[in-house]
Amino acid sequence: MVNREVHKRSIQAEEPEQEKGEMEENKCPSKTEGKPIRCKAAVCRKAGEALVIEEIEVAPPKAWEVRIKVLCTSLCHTDVTFWKLDAGPASAFPRIFGHEAVGVVESVGDYVEEVKQGDRVLPVFLPDCGECRDCKSTKSNCCTTFPFTHYNGMPRDGSSRFKDSNGLDLSHFLFVSSFAEYTVLDVANVVKISSDIPVDKACLLSCGVTTGVGAAWKVAEVEQGSTVAIFGLGAVGLAVAEGARLRGASKIIGVDLNPDKYGIGKQFGVTDFINPTYCSEKSVVEVLIHCSSPACFDQFDRDFVWYKLLVNDQVIREMTDGGADYCFECIGLASLMQDAINSSRPGWGKTVILGVEMHGSPLSVSSSEILRGKTVTGSYFGGVKAKSDIPFFVKKYLHNELNLEGFVTHEISFQDINKAFDLLLQGKSIRCIIWMDK
């Protein structure tokens, strides 16, 4: 397998730099195997504080573990939510954040047969042990062998593989901790992927984009001709739009406070846009349920932007003929989860919660909404079973059936990692690729 890969690449005229590096890793046995590696990591010492690039020590992988060299990583909003969290069992500092990444296997521990040194892999925050009742069922992707009980360490024993320069443990994050040049993962959190997919596109599939596409595809099972409302057009929401577009949705309504998301949403199949800031006379829910007249589109962009009509125009007809067939919450606010449920169609409307509530607030749902036949569900990782579904998405991309262009809006080097936080918090980036070696 390794030889075939090398041969296949050697007949290509020009090798990208990344591929050359990986070929070297494939050929040479790791000099670091079995030993701790000293390398750089972006450490967060206190909630909400800028990350600091520090030298750390990464232990060799134990049994069923894999140590990888991170090629690139990116910032997902879930990192930001936990970065701000200053109390509770899931808050642990100093910590190495990051859970969306792609890497190359540096070495493996005992009993690991699924991947070997030099393999291109995606780390995933949701374990897929393949053996528990949930992993074997098509109905679940929440592994019961490794539930989220060890928030701050490795999934099997909760201990850390990272030490700072004073020899003190650093906390892991979501079983991945990719804001480091090397990291250790349980084999249940590693997916081998083809090296034909460009590294930055692969990185997107490690969390946000897979979550969105998977939610439209696997959780909602959006149908041809249906109406879809997406609250929040970040990477997750835009990926929902991409998934809904692929499933043939006829109307995809994006709801976002940031007007810059109009243009980017269009690229992913968003057909209509609502900016709640301008919904002064109607709630977003009312707009979604009742408004649909082409006569009342804003003249600046007749096909797309809805918000001005709400201020200036009382001509309102049905936008979704009674409520959207599918609603997705991709922000992480309980109030918007409620809006999403209220915007869904009685009878069969389905709401999928993807946002991680940023204040830990509970969601309250009126039982009358449920009695009217609405369904509310949620999912980690878009219902995706990492080991089988991610290679499927990679193939879809390689066959030009899945659009991953447009998600990467910025690229920076590892030492500038704090810029990725600024860009996401300011609403300027969708995904910012953080290159470890550039």
Ligand X SMILES: NC(=O)c1ccc[n+]([C@@H]2O[C@H](COP(=O)([O-])OP(=O)(O)OC[C@H]3O[C@@H](n4cnc5c(N)ncnc54)[C@H](O)[C@@H]3O)[C@@H](O)[C@H]2O)c1
Q: Rule CB under 6 A: say whether 74 interacts with ligand X.
A: no
Binding at 330: pick from Zn ion, ligand X, none (beta carbon under 5-8 Å per type): ligand X
Site string for Zn ion, 184-213 (x = CB under 5 A): -----------------------x------
Binding at 261: pick from ligand X, Zn ion, none (beta carbon under 5-8 Å per type): ligand X
- Residue of the chain from 43, 240, 255, 352 that contacts ligand X (CB under 6 A): 255
Site string for Zn ion, 281-320 (x = CB under 5 A): ----------------------------------------
Residue 161 or residue 261: which is nearer to ligand X going by CB? 261
Rounded CA gap, 263 and 361, in Å? Answer: 31
Count residues binding ligand X (CB under 6 A): 32
Region from 73-81, 239-247, 298-306, 338-346 binding Zn ion, contact rule CB under 5 A = 73-81
- Residue of the chain from 50, 257, 370, 398 that contacts ligand X (CB under 6 A): 257
Site string for ligand X, 7-46 (x = CB under 6 A): ----------------------------------------
Which parts of 213-252 interact with ligand X (CB under 6 A)?
232-237
Which residue has its beta carbon closest to ligand X? 234
- Residue of the chain from 74, 189, 211, 227 that contacts ligand X (CB under 6 A): 211
| CB 141, min distance to ligand X, A | 10
Residue 94: asked if its preceding bond is cis (omega within 30°), the reply is yes
- Residue of the chain from 59, 66, 80, 135 that contacts Zn ion (CB under 5 A): 135
Decide: 280 and 311 in contact? Cβ < 8 Å: yes
Region from 88-96, 131-139, 326-334, 368-376 binding ligand X, contact rule CB under 6 A = 326-334
Binding at 132: pick from ligand X, Zn ion, none (beta carbon under 5-8 Å per type): Zn ion
Which parts of 141-170 interact with Zn ion (CB under 5 A)?
143, 145
Q: Please name the amino acid found at residue 19.
A: E
Decide: 43 and 94 in contact? Cβ < 8 Å: yes
Which parts of 356-375 interact with ligand X (CB under 6 A)?
356
| CB 182, min distance to ligand X, A | 24
Residue 55 has a CB neighbour count (10 Å cut-off) of 11
| CB 314, min distance to ligand X, A | 24
Cα–Cα distances (Å) from 299 to 277, 286, 415, in that order, read 18, 22, 45
Binding at 305: pick from ligand X, Zn ion, none (beta carbon under 5-8 Å per type): none
Decide: 73 and 178 in contact? Cβ < 8 Å: yes
| CB 266, min distance to ligand X, A | 14
* Residues of this chain that bind Zn ion (CB under 5 A): 76, 78, 129, 132, 135, 143, 145, 207
* Residues of this chain that bind ligand X (CB under 6 A): 76-78, 81, 207-208, 211, 232-237, 255-258, 261, 276, 330-333, 336, 354-356, 379-381, 424, 427
